[in-house]
Every structure is written in C-alpha cells, then in structure tokens.
Amino acid sequence: MQDFAGAFTLAFSLLASFDADLYEIVGLSLQVTLSAVLIAALIGLPVGALIATTRFPGRGLVIVVLNTLMGLPPVVIGLLVYMALSNAGPLGVLRLLYTPGAMIIAQALLVTPIVAALSRQVIEDRHGECAELFRSMVVSWGRAIATLLWDARAALLTVALAGFGRAIAEVGAVIIVGGNINHVTRVMTTAIALETSKGDLALALALGIVLLIVAIAVNGAVSALRAGTVPASHV
Amino acid sequence: MPLVVEGLRYAIAGRPLLGPVDLRLDHGGITAVMGPNGAGKSVLLRLLHGLVRASSGRISWAGRALDDGIRRRQAMVFQKPVLLRRSVAANIDFALKLRAVPDIAGRRDELMRLARLDHVAQRPARVLSGGEQQRLAIVRALALEPDVLFLDEPTASLDPAATLAIEDLAKTVRDRGVKIILITHDAGQARRLADDIVFLHGGRVTEHTPATRFFERPASAEAAAFLAGKIVL
C-alpha cells in the first residue's frame, strides 16, 4: 500500500514541479498518438463509409478481416514496420527507423482498422435510415457519404477516442520501431517499461498515473467539444 | 407531369406483390391511393418514384421513361419522416443546395413560414413533435421544387390537430400546381383532400374513379366493403 501511496505522491509531485523530462515525454506521447489518430481517421473514416454504403462480392469477408484487424497485436505491427523501415527493408531509404515518424506510422497502422471497423458500423446503421431518402432526393454518392459522416459526427468522435485509447496505451509497437531513445523517442509507455525493468516500480507506477491523467484530460476535452458542438438530440 | 403505367408488375423471389397495373393520372390535383394493408400501395408509390425497379411493365411521366432527370422533378415524404441530424433550417438548406436554388435563405424562410416552423428554425429536427417533423419533411420535399409529391401515409399516428395542419399544407401545395399522390387509410381524409381515388386490392387496381363518385357509388365490391368498414382481406 505504501508503494501505491508513494507512487501517487510522486506522480503529482512530478506534474506539480513541471519536471522538464516528464513534460517532454508527455508531449511526445501526445504528438505521436494524436498524429497517428488523425492519419487513421483520414484513412479509416472513408474506408468505413465506403464499406458501409456499397455492396460488392466478398464484402462480408472484408468486414470479418477488418474486425479481426482490430485485435492485431502491437508487437506484430511493430515488427512489420521495423522490417519495412530497416536499412534492408523496402522503405529503408526514408531513414525513419528510431524516429517519432516511425512510431506514428506504427500507431496509425494499429488504429486505422479500429476507426474503419467501428465507423463502418456507425455509418451503416445511419445509412440504413437514410438510404431511401437519398435515393428519393437523387443525392450523389459523395454527398451522401459526406452527409452521413457529418450526421454521425458525435459517434465518430467516440470512435476516434477509442483509437486514441488504443494508441496512447500501447508499448509493443513503439518500443520496437522507436527504440525508447531518451529525448528522441521515449514516450510514456516505453518509459514505464524501462523503469519497471530497472526495478523502480514507484516511478513506473507514477508514470502510469500520469498517463491515466493525460488520457482522462484528452477524453474530457473531446467530450466537452462534443457537448458544445453536437446537441444531445443530434446524437 | 401526366403519368401512364402499363402492365406494371413487381415480384420478389418469384412472389408477385403487385400487378399487373395499368393506370393513367392527369397533371395536377390530389390522387389518393387506398386499399387494405398488403394491397401494394407503398410498393406502387416506390415504383412510380423509381425507388424500386419493376419486374416488368412500363412507367412514363409526361411521355418520358423514369430516369434521374424525371426523379429530380419528384419528391417523396415517408410515413416515418427521415430527418437529418441537424437543425430544422439546415434540413431545408440541404434540399435547397441539392437543387442549387438561388437565394437559399429567402426560400428557406418562406418554406418554414409555410409549414409554420419559423419559430423552431434553429431547433434540432429530432426534438420536434411528430406533426412538426412531418411538416418539416413535407417542406423539405418542396424545397426540391417538385412537379409531383408522393406522400406515404403522412398523417399515420398523428392527432387530429396535426393531421389538419398536414392536410392544409397539402391543399396549399396542390393549389400551387404540384401533383400529389397520397396513400391513406383514412376515408375521411381522402374525402377531404382527393380529386380521384385509386383503390388497390391484392396488388391490382380494382377501380380508379373521381373521388365524389368513389364515395357515393364505389364500383368494386372490395372498395364498397372497405368503405362500409368491413374487413377486406
């Protein structure tokens, strides 16, 4: 119990003292994860909308594969990105390995199936309500997609949050492609893994608490944004 | 747009749901489509609007086969209004932008006044009452500037006051030269609104007559039984 109490005290003292190293790690964590979620949204939302609104042979199989990819182990993603970005890999020329860029790529690959699969379900439900209206009004496919995405924006923000939660908490992919280099690629989860391996469990736990506070802050900010822009009756 | 329907049939998995139907409707006025549940009224409306494809037969509007150009001159209001998750004004704007109507704000205000919704312009459409939602659906359809308006039981489950408001709106729309094809189970409503009646039974048109004659001397036994309040199977 003393360890837990000490960890909480340490976590808040780190935050209150504006520890430069801690804030650098928190900042990089947010930068990597928010960038990855943004990329995943830019790819995953149109893909989800496309699958939700079209019928084609093998669609059921595509949905099964997409849903399965939501559970892809981060270490597998990390390994694949590592192989692609290493000097011997096809993208080695980009020299991205052990940079935040590599970490963003890995997390984007991890989150994109989540955004695509969940948004597919959200948009398909809404499309079921509106499909006949759109046909009646002779709405083009592109405009129908844009309308569905806008109408489902509240639910899609929650989808993005699910992706954020998955990315900010994962360690397997970023430690493989980022290497946990101090002041370069160290993020919250890799720092926790490092402190745990060093036996400094109190500091590791304190960092975990900070990570939780950061996640709560981001979720709270998005919820406030949602409440401000999307009335409950539009949800 | 006068309508000519010849030998229209609709079947799903070989099971006939409608037809053969032959029908001619003139330009303007209100045509009420009546008949018991399962008679094929909604299917007929969807076929005439091109929402479903006929198994066989021919539909022509003003001598033209049904295509997107014709369908842009039509609009449909469903029994359960489908509203976009945005404000009343934004729902109307959506339709006005679709047809690239000039002076969107002016036209929107005019339509909201017509439906007596101007006081709830910025309210989310989904919090309106059932009658208000249906009036919004109708004026949003009018924003498409249709020549033909299909109404699929627009007053089902509405109270008398809301029904009266919808009927007044329908009369105003008709007086502006829009042809209305209305499905209703309510003989009183058909009597108040319709110029002619199409009576369907078992997927076939059993009679198509002027409304006054239909209510005084229905030609078919099914229509007579329906008007007498008997259960028509």
pLDDT tens for B183-204 read: 999 999 999 999 999 999 999 9
- The alpha-carbon gap from A141 to the nearest alpha carbon of chain B, in Å, equals 13
B90 CB-side CA count, 13 A = 14
Q: What is the mean pLDDT of residues B151-157?
A: 92
- Report the CATH fold assignment for A20-224: MetI-like fold (1.10.3720)
The percent of residues above 90 in pLDDT, for chain B, comes to: 88
Residue B24 burial by Cβ neighbours in a 10 Å radius (0-12, 13-18, 19+): exposed
Q: Closest Cα to residue B4, out of B31, B17, B23?
A: B23
Chain B positions touching A231 (Cβ under 8 A) are 124
Q: Is B98 on the interface with A (CB under 8 A)?
A: yes
Contact A129 B144 (CB under 8 A): no
The percent of residues above 70 in pLDDT, for chain B, comes to: 100
Would you kindly state where each structural domain of chain B is located, as residue ranges? 1-73+146-233, 83-145
Distances (CA, A) of B98 to A136, A228, B94, B145: 12, 28, 6, 11
Q: Is A135 on the interface with B (CB under 8 A)?
A: yes
Confidence at A135, pLDDT banded by 50, 70, 90: very high
Confidence at B232, pLDDT banded by 50, 70, 90: confident
The H or E element that residue B22 is part of is strand B15-25
Confidence at A23, pLDDT banded by 50, 70, 90: confident
Q: What is the mean pLDDT of residues A85-108?
A: 96
* Among chain B residues, CA nearest to A230: B86
Q: Closest Cα to residue A145, out of A66, A54, A43, A59?
A: A54
Homologous superfamily assigned to B1-73+146-233:
P-loop containing nucleotide triphosphate hydrolases (3.40.50.300)
Tell me which of A137, A229, A235 to substitute to probe the interface with B (most B C-beta atoms closer than 10 Å): A137
Of A133, A137, A234, the CB nearest to B86: A234
The H or E element that residue B56 is part of is strand B56-61
| Bridge partners of residue B198, in order along the sequence | B33, B208
DSSP codes, B137-195? HHHHHHTT--SEEEEESTTTT--HHHHHHHHHHHHHHHHTT-EEEEE-S-HHHHHHH-S
Q: What is the mean pLDDT of residues A158-187?
A: 94
Chain A positions touching B75 (Cβ under 8 A) are 136-137
Phi, psi for B87 (deg, rounded to 5) = -70, 170
Give the number of beta-carbon pairs within 8 Å between A and B.
42
pLDDT tens for A30-68 read: 999 999 999 999 999 999 999 999 999 999 999 999 999
Position B20 pLDDT exceeds 90: yes
The percent of residues above 70 in pLDDT, for chain A, comes to: 95
Contact B85 A235 (CB under 8 A): yes
Tell me which of A125, A130, A135, A138 to substitute to probe the interface with B (most B C-beta atoms closer than 10 Å): A138
Of B75, B95, B126, the CB nearest to A234: B126
Contact B94 A129 (CB under 8 A): no
Position A235 pLDDT exceeds 50: no
Q: Is A138 on the interface with B (CB under 8 A)?
A: yes
Q: Is A95 on the interface with B (CB under 8 A)?
A: no
Position B128 pLDDT exceeds 70: yes
Position A91 pLDDT exceeds 80: yes
Q: What is the mean pLDDT of chain B?
A: 94
Q: Is A234 on the interface with B (CB under 8 A)?
A: yes
Of A137, A138, A151, the CB nearest to B85: A151
**What is the structure's pLDDT at A2?**
59
Distances (CA, A) of B153 to B25, B42, B53, B216: 19, 9, 21, 23
Q: Is B75 on the interface with A (CB under 8 A)?
A: yes
Q: What is the mean pLDDT of residues A81-105?
A: 96
Position B22 pLDDT exceeds 80: yes
Q: What is the mean pLDDT of residues B59-76?
A: 94
Asked whether the beta carbons of B137 and B82 are under 8 A apart, the reply is yes
**What is the structure's pLDDT at B90?**
96
Inter-axis angle of helices A100-137 and A74-85, nearest 10:
110
The H or E element that residue A111 is part of is helix A100-137
How many Å apart are CA A190 and CA A197, to the nearest integer? Answer: 11
Contact A233 B124 (CB under 8 A): yes
* Among chain A residues, CA nearest to B81: A133
pLDDT tens for A173-193 read: 999 999 999 999 999 999 999
Tell me which of A122, A136, A150, A156 to substitute to probe the interface with B (most B C-beta atoms closer than 10 Å): A136
Contact A233 B95 (CB under 8 A): no
- The alpha-carbon gap from B17 to the nearest alpha carbon of chain A, in Å, equals 19
Q: Is B48 on the interface with A (CB under 8 A)?
A: no
B11 vs A203: which has the higher pLDDT? B11
Position A232 pLDDT exceeds 70: no
Residue with tokens 């860029």: A101
How many Å apart are CA A24 and CA A32, to the nearest integer? Answer: 12
Of A136, A138, A234, the CB nearest to B124: A234
* Among chain A residues, CA nearest to B99: A137
How many Å apart are CA A34 and CA A94, to the nearest integer? Answer: 22
* Among chain B residues, CA nearest to A139: B98
Position A221 pLDDT exceeds 90: no
Would you kindly state where each structural domain of chain A is located, as residue ranges? 20-224
